[in-house]
Structure 1
Amino acid sequence: MKTIKTAPYIPTDINIEEINTNRIKISVYPFESGYAITLAHPIRRLLLSSSVGYAPIGLKIEGVAHEFDSVRGITEDVSPFIVNLKNIRFVHKTQEDNGPITVNYSFKGPMSLSGADLINDVLDVVNKNTYLATINEDAVLNFSIIVQKGIGYVPSENIRGIIPEDYIPLDAYFTPVKKAVYEIENVLVEDNPTYEKIVFDIETDGQINPHDAFKEAIAIMHSQMSIFDADMSAAPLMAKNSSEDVAELKDLMVKIDTLNLSARCFNCLDRTGIRYIGELVLMSENDLKNIKNMGKKSYDEIAEKLQELGYPVGYELSDELVLSLNKKIVKMKS
């Protein structure tokens, strides 16, 4: 018996097949006809453009003035050395620092330099066997690199202004996802063969697990679309509250990521589950100081940021705004 639908079919099955350590296939189904491509394409785009990785962005070699120079006692000129260096895939061992990491190296020949030789207390290397250079007998190679966390691709001309002048800027390819493709297949649901299945094939370079990369892409999609939910949720308030309160609510529902807090301070708030600026504004001085692992330096940093935003610690919001803000925070976290 045929019926008229009042809502699209919700997918019920997801299967994950691990091909190897850095490659998986994810099958999701069943979708209504046309829904699979609607979701699959943006997820693929986010996997390739928004996955976070580490890459060298600057290089300084002792005795070298520019990228077309050569180094005494080294088989490779600077240009091929740079090409080899950009192939190295780094991983930050603590994953807590978003800022640039500067590392100094010194090697004496004879030796064949590879990715494994760049491992230290801060950085690990995924592709340890990747060749870098050959250092001849009695030759010494002293160099420094700057490694940065980022997304996508950043050309060297955009990096030149953010590293010291004595460093050679490098094109930075941060994306750890090597491959993200999908196929759409038909599946049978209640004698209807027009339903669809998405089969994602995801491979990374080892900086991140492909399953984690997929989950991060989904999370980014949710965060990008949350603006619509925030805007729609604020609309009914205009009948009760002033337009100033509505604008202020939107300002307070901005995530704490935008405050550019230090890693220690951000992690302290993140572990407590604090996500939005409004949550900090609602707290008293004692509330902030009593957050677990909140030291004086972190408290002072938060207080300074809130002061800059016009919400010094202890700032009193209107009763209507406090009620709306609390409701909004609960909704966004549910």
Structure 2
Amino acid sequence: MIKNEISVSIQTPQWKCVESREDSKRLHYGRFTLSPLRKGQANTIGIAMRRALLEEVEGTCITRVKFQNITNEYSAIIGIEESVHDILMNLKEIILRSDVYGIREGSIHIIGPKKVTTQDIILPPSVRIIDTTQHIANIKNSITLDIRVNIEKGRGYIIQNPNHFNSKDGIFPIDAIFMPVRNVNFSIHSYWNGNEIQEMLFLEIWTNGGLVPREALYEASRNLIHLLIPFMRTEEQDIDETDYIPPALLFPGRMKEDVLKDDIFIDQFNLSYRIYKNLKKANINTLSDLLNYSPEDLMKMKYIDKHSIQQILDILRSFGFDLPLNRN
């Protein structure tokens, strides 16, 4: 009887994807389970993950549009069925995907008559359109539609201030919706396991295709862990409660002597999903593992390029570390 109780208490929770489907290019669904959990844990995790999925997952969208020879958002364009405002709303609905930060530029240069869709947008290689059939405008006459767009990656919802832009230059801001997760639900199933009540968490995720639900779950979990890292070291620091310290500085330079590198996992770093996945494939799980590789060693891995190396170096240096030089 004692052996059974011990085996239950040390059982590690495991997650599983029990359903995954693509209802359309702009609607993906995933259903996941996590079990076994002790009584109350499923609700704690469910609440935290729902908020993290809705608020902490990054997305990519168009944030600014520039028209040629247009100065009023509500004006009509002769020869085009849609008004300027209608075109802006259509551009706002476009779902994009990018692993690169910063402002990227795209353009549309179409001579009508033609129905303009998202496949007519010229984009940099780092940006991908999820649904190339999304409608933008219908050019009825032999005129040119010339548009330039700014594309950014971010988090949450940002309401643009029109006063920061000059419409006389044909520049119009678009409210940014950086939220690839459309909706999240969770439910809890309780059951008896021996003498202990255990729980199973069911998590349902709907995304717009910018990320699939599995990727969104990974990113939300990683970002949630990153938010909690400061609490792991509060007992070792003399911090004035009124002071704000950036997360990257919560690990001081003396960390090299005080903290075992094996206790710091790459999950705690804000790495892109592609880089994280390739490091895990190489069995690089901890900071200690990563510091055994030089930049040249990492470049030999598939899909690890100079941009990936720079991202890794920036993160390591913010924690007071650096990759070793090539031993060859």
Counterpart of 1:199 in 2: which secondary structure?
strand
Q: Which residue of 2 aligns with 1:69?
A: 75
Q: Which amino acid aligns with 1:214?
A: L
Q: Which amino acid aligns with 1:33?
A: K
Quickly say closer, same or farther: Cα 1:291–1:270, change in 2 above 3 A: farther
Q: Write the deviation string for residues 173-209 of structure 1: whole angstroms up to 9, x where unpaired.
A: 01111221111111231154x3211101112111112
Alignment map for 1:129-140 (pairs within 5 Å): 129-140=133-144
Residues 25 and 201 in structure 1, CA contact (< 8 A), matched pair in contact too: yes
Q: CA deviation at 1:276?
A: 4.0
Alignment map for 1:167-186 (pairs within 5 Å): 167-186=171-190
Quickly say closer, same or farther: Cα 1:24–1:158, change in 2 above 3 A: farther
Quickly say closer, same or farther: Cα 1:8–1:79, change in 2 above 3 A: farther
Residues 70 and 168 in structure 2, CA contact (< 8 A), matched pair in contact too: no
1:24 corresponds to 2:30:
yes
Q: Which amino acid aligns with 1:267?
A: S
| Partner residue of 1:106 out of 97, 105, 109 | 109
Identity %: 20
Residues 61 and 152 in structure 2, CA contact (< 8 A), matched pair in contact too: yes
Q: CA deviation at 1:12?
A: 2.8
Q: Which amino acid aligns with 1:48?
A: L
Q: CA deviation at 1:226?
A: 0.6
Q: Write the deviation string for residues 128-173 of structure 1: whole angstroms up to 9, x where unpaired.
A: 2211110012121111111100111001228947999752011110
> Partners in 2 of 1:162 and 1:251 — Cα distance?
44
Residues 5 and 194 in structure 2, CA contact (< 8 A), matched pair in contact too: no
Q: Which residue of 2 aligns with 1:13?
A: 14
Q: Which residue of 2 aligns with 1:200?
A: 203
Residues 76 and 83 in structure 2, CA contact (< 8 A), matched pair in contact too: yes
Residues 9 and 31 in structure 1, CA contact (< 8 A), matched pair in contact too: no
Residues 226 and 269 in structure 2, CA contact (< 8 A), matched pair in contact too: no
> Partners in 1 of 2:174 and 2:160 — Cα distance?
5
| Unpaired stretches in structure 1, ≥5 consecutive residues | 236-247, 258-263, 293-334
Q: Which residue of 1 aligns with 2:318?
A: 277
Quickly say closer, same or farther: Cα 1:158–1:225, change in 2 above 3 A: farther
1:144 corresponds to 2:145:
no
Residues 104 and 124 in structure 2, CA contact (< 8 A), matched pair in contact too: no
Alignment map for 1:105-254 (pairs within 5 Å): 105-118=108-121, 120-122=123-125, 123-157=127-161, 160=164, 166-190=170-194, 192=196, 194-234=197-237, 250-252=251-253
> Partners in 2 of 1:47 and 1:228 — Cα distance?
21
**Which structure: greater helix fraction?**
1
Residues 71 and 78 in structure 1, CA contact (< 8 A), matched pair in contact too: yes
RMSD of the alignment, in Å? 3.4
Counterpart of 2:161 in 1: which secondary structure?
helix
Structure with the greater alpha carbon radius of gyration: 1
| Unpaired stretches in structure 2, ≥5 consecutive residues | 23-27, 239-248, 256-267, 271-304
1:47 corresponds to 2:53:
yes
Q: Which amino acid aligns with 1:110?
A: P
Q: Which amino acid aligns with 1:129?
A: T
Q: Which residue of 2 aligns with 1:90?
A: 96
Q: Which residue of 2 aligns with 1:244?
A: none
Residues 165 and 172 in structure 2, CA contact (< 8 A), matched pair in contact too: no
Quickly say closer, same or farther: Cα 1:133–1:180, change in 2 above 3 A: same
Counterpart of 1:70 in 2: which secondary structure?
coil
Residues 58 and 163 in structure 1, CA contact (< 8 A), matched pair in contact too: no
- TM-score normalised over the length of structure 1: 0.68
Residues 73 and 172 in structure 2, CA contact (< 8 A), matched pair in contact too: yes
Tell which deviates more after alignment, 163-172 or 99-108: 163-172
